[in-house]
Amino acid sequence: MRTECVLLLSLLLTALASGCAVNPVTGQEELMFFGPDKDVELGRKYGPQIEKVLGGRFPDENLQAYVNRVGQRLARVCHRPDIAYHFTAVRQKQINAFAVPGGYIYITTGLLEKLETEAQLAAILGHEIGHVVARDTMVALSRQIGMTALVAASAGVGGRGSGDLTAGAAFISGVLSLQYSRDDEKDADLVGLSYMVQAGYDPNGMVETMQILQELQTIRPIEFFSTHPNPESRLAYLQERIGRRYAMFAELKTGQDEYRQNVLAVLLPNRDRREEVEHVAQK
């Protein structure tokens, strides 16, 4: 027990030594208890376990390659292009997307089914990259599961032993039920919007995504808004930012056909057939 305490204390001290870091999204100095390398180690360690809890990788490699391609296009223009990002579609009915520290990003098939275009997918992935870059997940996690549990969860990473199983479990459930602050949420929206434009996507895709999610929310509470709180003015500030800064970029890629072909045709094969039948019936 004593040894564990000493180990924990020394880890905490090492973590504290990481000191202040500038958040590239907000430009503010923030007290960071871990260096960014620790995020990557934590993601590498717990990412696969989180993927399993989320229902596992959706078994269609063409769809996975497509989601990853869109994600990498955004990752190349983000504030931390040096991180190795992984974008994975997980087989899960819930409508949600998750960012695990260190660049492991998951989107559920439940959410993929509701989107209509590649630009809308880029909006979700860009928003999640925003959380990774700003290291929101680490800050929110330290608030949610406590600094001690976070330090203990990281004890096993980087080849320093097996780590603490309980802390690992706390880390995983923490990531899955994470609640970002409304400020983090707004920052992730706006930085995601700028990544979309830089990557060549129509920024209106983010407005459409929010409209889709909010419409779904009127039918039943959706999971996305339990982990990503909905700032009330979301649509207003997105439209204001697009109008003020990106109005001339509305001609950028929407990618409706690509999305239908690579995602919807796979997840909802009957929908296309139904549409065809309706189309023929109308003639």
- Smallest distance, Å, CB 229 to Zn ion? 8
Q: Give 152 or 178: the residue with its C-beta nearer to Zn ion.
A: 178
CB 139 within 8 A of CB 34: no
Please name the residues in contact with 75: beta carbons below 8 A apart, sequence gap of 6 or more.
81, 83, 85, 103, 129
Residue with the closest Cβ to Zn ion? 228
Compute the distance between CA of residue 112 and CA of residue 114 in angstroms, rounded to an integer: 5
CB of 261 to Zn ion, least distance (A): 28
How far apart are CB 135 and Zn ion at their closest, in Å?
A: 13
Secondary structure of residue 47 in the 3-state scheme? helix
Q: Closest Cα to residue 71, out of 169, 170, 192, 215?
A: 192
Q: Which is nearer to Zn ion, 228 or 260 (CB)?
A: 228
Q: How far is the CB of 148 from Zn ion (least distance, A)?
A: 25
Nearer CB in complex with Zn ion: 194/262: 194
Q: How far is the CB of 35 from Zn ion (least distance, A)?
A: 23
CB 184 within 8 A of CB 131: yes
Can you read off the two tokens belonging to residue 271?
């929908």
Residue 38 or 228: which CB sits closer to Zn ion? 228
Nearest CB to Zn ion, comparing residues 10 and 177: 177
User: Cα separations (Å) of 156 from 38, 149, 168?
Assistant: 11, 12, 9
Tell me which residues touch Zn ion (CB under 5 A).
185, 188, 228
